[in-house]
């Protein structure tokens, strides 16, 4: 299992190179056998270097992985600009895998920087980390732009990646997600947005806990201390307000205004129920809506089941308050 992330880095590279050589009668999985063998050899050699105890070989292996990641990003960047919507969609989806690979390599580089006693190795690891981090930052920008793409596949993949890997960064755009993406005409995009907003609300909960602890432990009486406490209290209230707004907005998807919702927006409702359950006591205002939705005979049983779970999680959290 230890080499899975190395394999995924190579596979993206293989897939991209295959796409670049594609002919009209050639499918997306048409990969030259020689390339497969050569890349398998490359993967095995890189894996050995990364896993070795030799610091020089480990850095060399991580350098190779970083180079592959950066090359993959450049190819994906070009494909996200394609006029063909499916090409843009597939490239955006692969950005999610790429980010996962970047995080794995970053973790290994940080380990080198933390544990190595060789200043040169630490410096090299820092340089490599900075290089792949730039790809990470640019990926966030691509996904942020991708949420407004004309093709729903790009929008859905982009928002999914934001919710999986960039919640903290995406939090700055909560208003846009609510006013734009949450009103998307495509169900998959809306469901992905609900999940993202749920993650943002969870981040708000963590922020509230942090600010509460800072206020509790702040014993200074100076003017500067008073200003700091006021700042913490303001930030804490902003997080509380944002959670309330998110709960209010996503709860709307559980209200049945047309009488028959058995086929439309099921995934959105499922996402809403799951997110409300995860928010616990902060979703107290949604309890009555969940209860009413549970009485809907036209609703899917799978949604009913999750409603029961969500209601219990909220009620349990309220009892602990």
Over residues 294-304, the pLDDT tens digits come to 888 878 889 99
pLDDT band at 38 (very low <50, low <70, confident <90, very high): low
pLDDT for 121 equals 86
My answer on whether 86 and 150 are in the same domain is: yes
Q: What is the mean pLDDT of residues 140-152?
A: 96
In a domain, 56, yes or no: yes
Considering the domain architecture, whether residues 149 and 215 belong to the same structural domain is answered as no
Same structural domain, 134 and 72: yes
- Domain-located, residue 175: no
Residue (of 321, 245, 258, 320) closest to 286 by Cα position: 245
**What is the model's pLDDT at position 34?**
52
pLDDT band at 36 (very low <50, low <70, confident <90, very high): very low
Q: Is residue 37 part of a domain?
A: yes
- 158 and 227 co-located in one domain: no
Percent of the chain with pLDDT over 70: 83
What are phi and psi for residue 220, nearest 5 degrees? Answer: -65, 150
Higher pLDDT, 202 or 295: 202
Same domain, 159 and 21: yes
**pLDDT band at residue 190, thresholds of 50, 70 and 90?**
very high
For residue 79, being part of any structural domain is answered with: yes
- Residue 188 reports pLDDT greater than 90: yes
201 closest CA partner among 129, 279, 300: 279
Per-residue DSSP letter, 183: G
Query: Chain-wide mean pLDDT for the chain?
Result: 84
> What are the structure tokens assigned to 183, written together?
């009103």
Q: In CATH, what number is assigned to the domain containing residue 124?
A: 1.20.120
CA dihedral 194, 87, 83, 66 (to 10 degrees): 90
User: What pLDDT sits at residue 317?
Assistant: 95
Q: What is the pLDDT of residue 47?
A: 72
pLDDT for res 42: 64
- The pLDDT tens digits of the residues spanning 213-231 come to 999 888 777 888 889 999 9
Residue 263 has a pLDDT of 57
Residue 182 lies in a domain: no
Tell me how long the chain is.
Answer: 321
Question: Which H helix or E strand runs over 100?
Answer: helix 85-115
Q: For residues 276-291, give the mean pLDDT.
A: 96
Q: In which domain, by residue range, is 200 found?
A: 187-320
pLDDT at 23: 36
Q: How many domains does the chain have?
A: 2
Query: Is the per-residue pLDDT at 4 higher than 50?
Result: no
Least confident of 2-11, 106-115, 234-243, 287-296: 2-11
Residue 173 lies in a domain: no
Give the C-alpha separation, 96 to 241, whole Å: 30
The pLDDT, as a whole number, for residue 264 is 66
pLDDT of residue 241: 98
- Residue 312 structure tokens: 């219990």
Q: How confident is the model at residue 167 (pLDDT cuts 50, 70, 90)?
A: very high
Predicted TM-score of the model (pTM): 0.83
Residue 232 shares a structural domain with residue 193? yes
Over residues 194-207, mean pLDDT:
98
């Amino acid at each position: 299992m230890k080499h899975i992330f190395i394999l995924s880095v190579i596979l993206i590279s293989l897939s991209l190179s295959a796409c670049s050589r594609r002919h009209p009668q050639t499918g997306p999985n048409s990969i030259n056998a020689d390339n497969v063998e050569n890349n398998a050899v490359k993967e095995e050699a890189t894996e050995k270097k990364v896993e070795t105890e030799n610091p020089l070989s480990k850095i060399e292996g991580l350098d190779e992985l970083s180079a592959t990641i950066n090359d993959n990003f450049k190819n994906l960047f070009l494909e996200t600009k394609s006029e063909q919507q499916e090409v843009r969609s597939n490239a955006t989806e692969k950005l999610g895998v790429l980010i996962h690979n970047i995080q794995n390599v970053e973790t290994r580089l940080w380990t080198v920087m933390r544990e190595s006693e060789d200043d040169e190795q630490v410096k090299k690891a820092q340089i490599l980390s900075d290089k792949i981090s730039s790809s990470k930052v640019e990926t966030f920008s691509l996904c942020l732009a991708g949420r407004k793409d004309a093709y729903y596949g790009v929008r859905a993949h982009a928002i999914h990646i934001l919710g999986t890997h960039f919640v903290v960064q995406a939090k700055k755009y909560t208003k846009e997600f609510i006013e734009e993406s949450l009103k998307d005409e495509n169900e998959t995009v809306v469901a992905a947005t609900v999940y993202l907003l749920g993650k943002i609300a969870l981040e708000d909960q963590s922020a509230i806990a942090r600010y509460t602890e800072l206020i509790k432990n702040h014993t200074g009486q100076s003017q500067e201390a008073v200003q700091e406490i006021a700042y913490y209290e303001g930030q804490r209230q902003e997080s509380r307000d944002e959670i309330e707004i998110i709960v209010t907005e996503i709860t709307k998807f559980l209200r049945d205004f047309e009488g028959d919702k058995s086929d439309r927006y099921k995934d959105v409702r499922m996402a809403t129920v799951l997110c409300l359950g995860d928010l616990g006591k902060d979703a107290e205002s949604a309890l009555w809506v969940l209860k009413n939705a549970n009485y809907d005979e036209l609703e899917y049983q799978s949604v009913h089941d999750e409603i029961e779970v969500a209601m219990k999680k909220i009620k349990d959290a309220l009892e602990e308050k």
